[in-house]
Structure 1
Amino acid sequence: MLAAIGETPIVPYEDPAIDGSIHVKCEFDNPTGSMKDRIAYGMITELESEGVLSPGELIVEASSGNTAGAVALVANRLGYEAVITAPDGTSPQKLGYVEAFGAELVSCPDVDADDERHYRATAERIADERGGVLLDQYSNQANPAVHAAWTGPELTDQCPEVTHVVAPMGTGGTMSGIAKHVKAYDDSVTTVGVDAVQSNISTAFSGAESGPYETAVEGLGQDEKLPTMWFDYVDEVRSVSDEAAFAHARRGAREGGLLVGPSSGAALSVAREIASVDSDAVVVTIACDGGEQYFDTVFDDEWLAERGVDVD
């Protein structure tokens, strides 16, 4: 199963309304349906190579989304116990992987990051109390490094004519690592990170004053800049509204047969902006996960309306 991670395809996204071209790297083809399988495998094997982890020991990780299932899978196959902490409201489809692969799930209240009950603080406490090793995708440099060494080279091998790379930013590892590689491959390639409107990745990138972080899009945006965000390799960070993210996730499915989650919908909206004004653009956008995990959100008008999201 671990050998099935990576080597995800890049497929063209046909859109007669634009002059440039868009290509989608389908990270939802990984075993647990997201690109987080890459970093789970990379972080754990890096700790093994450093002598920090040995089979049978305890791995602890905090996740509000796809990393939960990815860590559970890799821990299962490499012989580790695993505890995953997650905030209330995390997609039950994503958390289903945790229990399916035999990891322990600890649900935490959805509170501010400075609260000791926060899911990241809880993971740190569990690791300390039970002698576990905390992976910490939010600061672990193996997160972006995996994408620099693995995902980025795949992308340029599959689409050597790429002019723009567009990817959602949560921890920032995917965008940062791929951007580092493509800048070494061809410095003229434009790298564009995608943030939520009410988020502080874009404010940190531009040096603007930070504000509250709030979005209905899982896995998009952060309260603050994280160590896994390598801004030196990122040319732009564009903010996308919840409405645009969900609308483009729907549009991708209905007009392009591309079933993706809302963070990938946000990236698709930016890719379309670029390809609409540049006929020579060859845009590769990263589809971080698949839309089958979001049938009860992306395609549910009532759920969206409850959160004030109007996609009409």
Structure 2
Amino acid sequence: THFLATLGTSGTLVGTGRRLKELNPAIEIIAIEPPEFHGIEGLKNMDISIVPGIYDAEVWDRKVQVETEDAYDTARRLTRELGLLVGQSCGAAMAASIEVARGLDEGVVVTVFPDSGEKYMSTPLWSGFSE
């Protein structure tokens, strides 16, 4: 009933969102974006960014904003609790998905994890991390 994707190039949100709406117009497409000044590698706040040509604001039904620390904390939690080594954009996707799911009485929430955490091992995302 709900599909969420982060805004970077916006290709995943736009392409998947268009197709899902063709198949079922009742599916809610939700864009995940960071605040204007953030530290979430790979994500864009479209209000202040160079907007990719593929971006189409008509595809999504609403936006959910995720703060940098929430994205980092959720990425670390996914690693600690589930053994998934993910990057901060995945943390943002999961944090937004949890927020949406908490607001539902029933439904299905689907998101995409756009990267892994291995390329961020020397960044603040993982500094001081322990199990």
What interval of TM-score do these two structures reach, taking the shorter chain for normalisation?
0.7 to 0.9
* Structure 1 match to 2:34: 196
* Structure 2 match to 1:58: none
Q: Are 2:75 and 1:249 aligned?
A: yes
Counterpart residue type for residue 104 of structure 2: D
- Listed as ranges, the gaps of 5+ residues in structure 1 are 1-162, 199-213, 303-312
Question: For this pair of structures, how many residues does the alignment match?
Answer: 125
- Listed as ranges, the gaps of 5+ residues in structure 2 are none
Q: Are 2:10 and 1:187 aligned?
A: no
* Structure 2 match to 1:216: 39
Deviations 1:179-203 (A, max 9, x none): 00100111111111111111xxxxx
* Structure 2 match to 1:37: none
- Secondary structure class of the residue paired with 1:192: strand
Match of 2:8 among 165, 170, 194: 170
Bigger helix fraction: 1
CA distance in 2, matches of 1:275, 1:172: 22
- Secondary structure class of the residue paired with 1:232: coil
User: How far off its partner does 1:235 sit?
Assistant: 0.8
Q: Are 2:122 and 1:299 aligned?
A: no
User: How far off its partner does 1:228 sit?
Assistant: 1.3
CA distance in 1, matches of 2:58, 2:96: 20
Q: CA RMSD in A?
A: 1.6
User: How far off its partner does 1:277 sit?
Assistant: 2.2
Q: Between the two structures, name the one with larger relative contact order (CA 8 Å, sep ≥ 6).
A: 2
Does the aligned pair in 2 maintain the 1:216–1:242 contact within 8 Å?
A: yes
Deviations 1:19-53 (A, max 9, x none): xxxxxxxxxxxxxxxxxxxxxxxxxxxxxxxxxxx
Aligned-pair identity (%): 33
Q: TM-score, normalised by structure 2?
A: 0.87
**Cα pair distance change 1:275/1:196, threshold 3 Å:** same
Which structure is larger by alpha-carbon Rg, 1 or 2? 1
- Secondary structure class of the residue paired with 2:58: helix
User: How far off its partner does 1:282 sit?
Assistant: 0.9
